[in-house]
Amino acid sequence: MDVIELNTKSGKDRGLKIPVRVVLMIRRSMKAFSVVALLLGAAFTQANDRLTLLTESYPPFNMSIDDRNFARGDGVDGISTDIVREMMRRAGVEYTLTLRFPWSKVYNLTLNKANYGVFSTARSAEREDSFKWVGPIVDNDYVVFSLPGKKIKINNFEDMKKYKVGAYKDDYVTNVLKKNGVKVLETLKDSYNATKLKEGRIDLWASGSLSGPYGADQVGVTGLKQVYLVESKGLYLALNSSTPNRIVKKLQVVLDQMKSDGSVDGIYDQYR
């Protein structure tokens, strides 16, 4: 029987003899173990790359195709949605997409759950360290509207304090107004403010320069008058802080390429 002799540590004693077939079996087992370990590692990496993306109804950036407060996958569209969808495709990142209500829920889920992401959201100093960021996906002006024909002039936040101001609960612009001492009457859906404005229950409505008129049109309110620019702010994809940096970097590189090659402008054009 063929054997392999292994020298002892001291080198003085006679070596340990092991049959060749045993050595070969050990080597095969080690190779098999290595392959299994690599496969498990790859599977774990792929699972870690799969993102759960959440959004809200914030037209024309993200919305359901049937104007409901819940939708999944292809039932969600909008400028930001189409940009994010193409970005994920090019980056080769697997994901699921859900639009749900209210904003505070999707925001807090992303804040607390690994591999979750939320869009379209403003990036601020208060939020900076809570997420990892990809963007800006789109640009957004936060403004204040009144009804046409109203003689309301707003130059600063102090001027706003004289009026009843409506805004969307937990929205970025809502928090900016409150931080500057403006009392805000909050609603759970932004388009409700258009109705309240029309009915005279509020004097001013703080919203997005695009999303406000879009939502107002859905409830039959047109001709909004922009009376004040609160802030211009890019909107981002915010990812849970535990998201691997390689995914964040990959998505940012792809988004920058989409801006350079005209893909982002092309998506905008589809909604004009």
Q: What is the dihedral of CA 26, 27, 31, 32, to 10 degrees?
A: -30
What pLDDT is stored for residue 39 in this prediction?
Answer: 45
Q: Say if 50-138+235-269 and 141-232 have the same CATH topology.
A: yes
Structure tokens at 129: 């360290």
Task: Please list the pLDDT of the chain residue by residue as tens digits (272 residues).
Answer: 565 665 555 545 555 566 766 556 666 765 654 444 444 444 444 556 899 999 999 999 999 999 888 999 999 999 999 999 999 999 999 999 999 988 999 999 999 999 999 999 999 999 999 999 999 999 999 999 999 999 999 999 999 999 999 999 999 999 999 999 999 999 999 999 999 999 999 999 999 999 999 999 989 999 999 999 999 999 999 999 999 999 999 999 999 999 999 999 999 999 98
At 131, give phi and psi (nearest 5°): -140, 170
Tokens 């994010």 -> residue = 84
Give the start-to-end residue ranges of the domains of the chain. 3-47, 50-138+235-269, 141-232
Fold of 141-232: D-Maltodextrin-Binding Protein; domain 2 (3.40.190)
Burial level of 193, CB count in 10 A (0-12/13-18/19+)? buried
Which CATH architecture best describes the domain 50-138+235-269? 3-Layer(aba) Sandwich (3.40)
Tokens 């292994």 -> residue = 6
What pLDDT is stored for residue 41 in this prediction?
Answer: 47
User: What does the pLDDT look like over 244-270, one tens digit per residue?
Assistant: 999 999 999 999 999 999 999 999 999
CB 255 within 8 A of CB 90: no
